[in-house]
Amino acid sequence: MSASSPLFGDLLLKLGLVTPSQVQEALALQALTGQRVGEALISLGYVTREQIQDALGEALGLTSDKAPSHPPLGELLVGLKYISLGQLEEALAFQRKDGRKLGEILVEMGHCTYKQIYEALSLQGRISGRQEAPRPSTEGKHRVMVVDDSPLACAFVQEGLEALGYEVVSFQDPYAALDRVTKVQPAIVLTDLDMPGLDGVELCRRLKDGPARQVPVIILTANDSETERVQGLRAGADDYVNKSASMDELSARIESVMRRTGETERMRKLFARYTSDAVVEEILKSPDTVVLTGEKREVTVLFADIRNFTGLAESLPPEQVVGVLNQVLGRLSDAVLTCGGTLDKFLGDGLMAVWGAPVHRPDDALRALQAAKMMMLAMMELRQEAEAEMVANGYEGKPLVLELGIGINSGVVVAGNIGGSMRTEYTCIGDAVNVAARLCALAGGGEILVGERTHWLVQGKEVTFEELPPVLLRGKQQKVPLFKLVT
């Protein structure tokens, strides 16, 4: 029996796929066009090609090894109560005229949404028992948080990603996802766009404003309009993927975002050791402006050194020396970070800090001077605290003498990662650095000595200097102008 035989129509009748009137209509069309009965029924929209193939297989006794056909999309939409039978028949009539996809017609007619079409197609695949070819697991097995108010959509994405080797945690309540994100600690969040109460854009915005701000977010949507993409990206979304995308494409997008995020985290960890969170965020906003391999920059360099620390160390037990040193360097570091500087390195009983690398600001020189003043104030507070503690403990010996000398200079340096494969550090090298170190060595206790370029950069600001006689610094052939910051 073939699909061209009138008896084939009887088989379809027995299977309950068509009605007698539909068969008669197909036979009439066959007489006009010469089509086979089966093709005529398909063109009239009464059956699908898969149903015809199943009927032929049953007639030939070949159905036992064949996977079941998936149910028609229209039936599923009606079964899910997304559309009525009348709406389905109306859409099928349009489909017979222009041949477009049923889902597109239903959405265009306003009978359902893209999201509902997507859910029905997902259910269609699971009912049919279709199995995709096995694919290799994704390396690393990132933990993915999926947020979608539809249990069906959550299950579909979860099953697909788990088959690719991901660990998936699903939430149908976006508020619950927001509450649990720090506990779940996902590597990435996939969120639906259209959700009641808290949509994907707002969820993304709250994630980016909270403690999980570093977690990348991909927004999934069934309606990929430019306006919605812009809204999502402005809220901080890292990517925007249409729900019709395959699992392979979704996996590729996840891996692409994770690679970008990995590079961002590498830079964050690199600079977080040296500078304030605010400066780190500036670096990450414009990573192309930061050159780690070395570049020329104008910077302001500050060296600070505790005076007479060697003598102090000889008069105290080692553990007390370390305690005092940690207290002092901690206060000095706080001053650097508060004023937006980069902590270059600790130098025994002192430190080196830089303004202008890796991020340049127009007031870098002024910030360095403000940090120096804060350092001097911190030293005075430490002395007062130490003396108060001595009095409280009844100690009548010499008070603890903590004084600081600071040198500041501005100029062009080479900034970047310096070192070898085993150990590197972000630092600055150049004559301006050497001059700042020499000024620090020259400064007495409580003095802040400033070079000529720094003095010129802060002219007109509310900063007072005392001009000192020029000095001949080691390594220089001529004397250099010298200024003392009045604190």
pLDDT digits (tens, 9 = 90+) for 346-359: 887 889 999 998 78
CA distances from 25 to 12, 37, 52, 99, 451 (A): 14, 10, 17, 19, 98
How much of the chain, in percent, has pLDDT values that exceed 70? 69
Residue 487 above 80 pLDDT? Answer: no
User: Using alpha carbons only, what angle is made at residue 446 by residues 301 and 347, rounded to the nearest 5 degrees?
Assistant: 45
Q: In the listed set 92, 109, 126, which residue is the last one of a domain according to the structure? A: 109
Backbone conformation region of residue 289, classed left if phi is above 0, alpha if psi is from -120 to 50, else beta = alpha
- Main-chain dihedrals φ then ψ at residue 359, nearest 5 degrees: -115, 130
User: Using alpha carbons only, what angle is made at residue 395 by residues 390 and 399, rounded to the nearest 5 degrees?
Assistant: 60
* Choice between 481 and 245, residue whose per-residue pLDDT is larger: 481
Q: In the listed set 248, 269, 290, which residue is the last one of a domain according to the structure? A: 269
Where would I find the beta strands (DSSP E) of 197-341?
Answer: 217-221, 239-242, 295-307
126 lies in some domain? no
- Main-chain dihedrals φ then ψ at residue 360, nearest 5 degrees: -95, 140
Which pair of tokens denotes residue 304? 């600070």
pLDDT at 246: 78
Residues 149 and 176 in one domain: yes
pLDDT at 454: 96
Least reliable range by pLDDT among 209-213, 319-323, 374-378, 439-443: 319-323
218 lies in some domain? yes
Least reliable range by pLDDT among 196-210, 234-248, 318-332: 234-248
pLDDT at 170: 92
Q: Quick one: average pLDDT of 61-79?
A: 59
Residues 314 and 222 in one domain: no
Residue-wise pLDDT tens digits, 127-146: 554 444 444 444 456 889 99
Positive or negative torsion for Cα 309, 312, 318, 319: negative
342 lies in some domain? yes
Owning domain of residue 171: 143-269
With residue 167 as reference, give the H or E element that holds it: strand 167-171
Residue-wise pLDDT tens digits, 111-122: 887 767 777 776
138 lies in some domain? no
pLDDT at 101: 78
pLDDT at 122: 64
Give DSSP secondary structure letters for 105-124. Answer: HHHHTTSS-HHHHHHHHHHH
Residues 456 and 329 in one domain: yes
Residues 87 and 174 in one domain: no
With residue 250 as reference, give the H or E element that holds it: helix 247-272
CATH of the domain at 299: 3.30.70.1230
* Choice between 187 and 151, residue whose per-residue pLDDT is larger: 187
Residues 357 and 302 in one domain: yes
Which pair of tokens denotes residue 346? 């600790």
pLDDT at 2: 44
Residues 374 and 240 in one domain: no
Residues 171 and 214 in one domain: yes
pLDDT at 240: 83
Which pair of tokens denotes residue 389? 């503690």
Backbone conformation region of residue 223, classed left if phi is above 0, alpha if psi is from -120 to 50, else beta = beta
Banded pLDDT at 68 (limits 50, 70, 90): very low
* Choice between 201 and 315, residue whose per-residue pLDDT is larger: 201
Residue-wise pLDDT tens digits, 207-217: 888 888 888 89
Q: Quick one: average pLDDT of 221-246?
A: 71
Positive or negative torsion for Cα 342, 270, 211, 241: positive
Residues 264 and 300 in one domain: no
Could you tell me which of 366, 328, 340, 329 has the C-alpha nearest to residue 275?
340
What total number of domains does the chain contain?
A: 3
Q: Are 305 and 426 in contact (CB under 8 A)?
A: no
CATH of the domain at 184: 3.40.50.2300
* Choice between 135 and 158, residue whose per-residue pLDDT is larger: 158
Residues 260 and 339 in one domain: no
132 lies in some domain? no
Residues 157 and 32 in one domain: no
Q: Are 4 and 36 in contact (CB under 8 A)?
A: yes
116 lies in some domain? no
Where would I find the beta strands (DSSP E) of 239-377?
Answer: 239-242, 295-307, 342-346, 350-355
* DSSP state letter for 275: B
136 lies in some domain? no
**The model scores a pTM over 0.85:** no
Strand bridging mode 295-307 / 403-419: antiparallel
Positive or negative torsion for Cα 37, 39, 43, 49: positive
* Choice between 483 and 201, residue whose per-residue pLDDT is larger: 483
Exposed, middle or buried, 237 (CB in 10 Å: 0-12/13-18/19+)?
A: buried
Q: Quick one: average pLDDT of 329-355?
A: 88
Residue 265 above 60 pLDDT? Answer: no
Q: Are 161 and 168 in contact (CB under 8 A)?
A: yes
Residues 285 and 423 in one domain: yes
CA 180 to chain centre: 18
Which residues 6+ apart lie within 8 Å of 401 measured at CB? 308, 312, 383
Positive or negative torsion for Cα 386, 387, 388, 391: positive
- The mean pLDDT of the chain is 77
Residues 311 and 391 in one domain: yes
Question: Which residues pair with residue 169 across a beta bridge?
Answer: 145
Strand bridging mode 239-242 / 143-147: unpaired
Q: In the listed set 91, 109, 127, which residue is the last one of a domain according to the structure? A: 109
First to last CA, the chain: 104
227 lies in some domain? yes
> Using CA atoms, how far apart are residues 325 and 305, in angstroms rounded to an integer?
11
3-state class of 240 per DSSP?
strand
